[in-house]
Chains A and B, each alone.
Chain A
Amino acid sequence: MLTPLHKRLLNDYQRDFPLSPTPYQDIALELGVSEEDVIDAFVELDEQDVITRIGPVIPPNRIGVSTLAAIAVPETELEAVAQIISAYPEVNHNYEREHRFNLWFVVIAADAQHLAQVLADIEQQTGYPVMSLPLMEDYFIDLSFKLDLHDD
């Protein structure tokens, strides 16, 4: 269950987390609570996996190169192939999706050559061709995703 403080933190601090020596203290002052309250609330959000982390969000391809890749695998082999793919440190997302292309994963590498190597290696290890769909344009408009935090 989210408290009012949890909701404020979630709504108001998806961006503009202070770059100051004591950011939690700054937030506490803005919200009229104690620094300990803010830290405790963030720890709770983190422990409950409501937030994945607090930190800088990097747009794709600003540091290193990445691609969205997909693979079509028979249902019976899905789990084994997914495990092979998830084991790569260069893979930072791997989702099962309802489609003929049923595994979708993001690969991030330091440079294009290493990225190509990882994709080729995944093809070899899994025995299936990988469809690579690198980003061509990012239509991100800087409005954060609006969370509806009504309890339901």
Chain B
Amino acid sequence: MPVLDAIDLAIMRATQAGLPLTPEPYQSLATQLGLTADDVMKRMQYMADLGIIRRIGAVPNHYKLGYRFNGMTVWNVPDAYIDELGQKVGALDFVSHCYHRPRHLPHWPYNLFAMVHGKTQLDVDRQIASIAAILGDHNLGSDVLYSTKILKKTGFRSGI
């Protein structure tokens, strides 16, 4: 993994709360960090080229946009097939995140996680059925965990 220097990290910290909504946002950041706007943009471009920044843009709040049914779907699939299946599930346009995570036996048998978002329960039920169809016989068990309350949500990565 490429090494970021302290200035790169300072830029990432400064942008996690959001770019300023002012005409020259990169200049505002640069002033705050003692850099030039050009430095800030070049370093962000570099991090984007390396994949350290996945994208730069508006981060929507699904819940506010009417997506009130947010399910964390979890599946138990054989490890031998998980990469192939995970890529197919991750490509579905209603899946916002799709991850392989470890099982935690005996309490937690699931190793594939896919976040789905729908405006109605029916939407989500259909989405879950689509995922189940892709997994087919490799689906050894599943569950859906709906969020009932968002207790904390911040884009701010204060741990870094």
A residues adjacent to B (C-beta < 8 A): 9-10, 13-17, 19-25, 35, 39, 42-43, 45-46, 48-60, 62-64, 66, 68, 70, 82, 85-86, 89-101, 103-105, 107-110, 114, 118, 131, 133-149, 152
Contacts and interface: CB of A to CB of B under 8 A. Distances in A.
B58 A54 contact: yes
Given A63-B12, A96-B149, A152-B66, A16 B96 contact: no
A118 B90 CA distance: 30
Contacts of A107: 159
B145 interface: yes
Given A56-B15, A136-B100, A146-B93, A82 B59 contact: no
A16 B57 CA distance: 6
B44 interface: yes
A141 B52 contact: no
The 5 closest A-B pairs by CB, nearest first: A53-B18, A139-B90, A90-B159, A139-B86, A15-B55
Q: How large is the interface on B (under 10, 10 to 19, 20 to 34, 35 or more residues)?
A: 35 or more
Contacts of B83: 137, 139
B41 A19 contact: yes
Nearest to B150: A95
Contact of A136 (B87, B94, B101): B101
Interface of B: 1, 4, 9, 12, 15-19, 21-27, 37, 41, 44-45, 47-48, 51-62, 64-66, 72, 82-83, 86-87, 89-91, 93-94, 96-102, 104, 107-108, 113, 117, 119, 143, 145-160
A145 B131 CA distance: 16
B125 to A, nearest CB: 15
A42 to B, nearest CB: 5
Contact of A131 (B25, B93, B100, B107): B107
Nearest to A16: B57
A64 B56 contact: no
A55 B16 contact: yes
B22 A139 contact: no
A108 to B, nearest CB: 4
Nearest to A52: B59
A132 to B, nearest CB: 8
Given A50-B64, A63-B12, A147-B60, A139 B108 contact: no
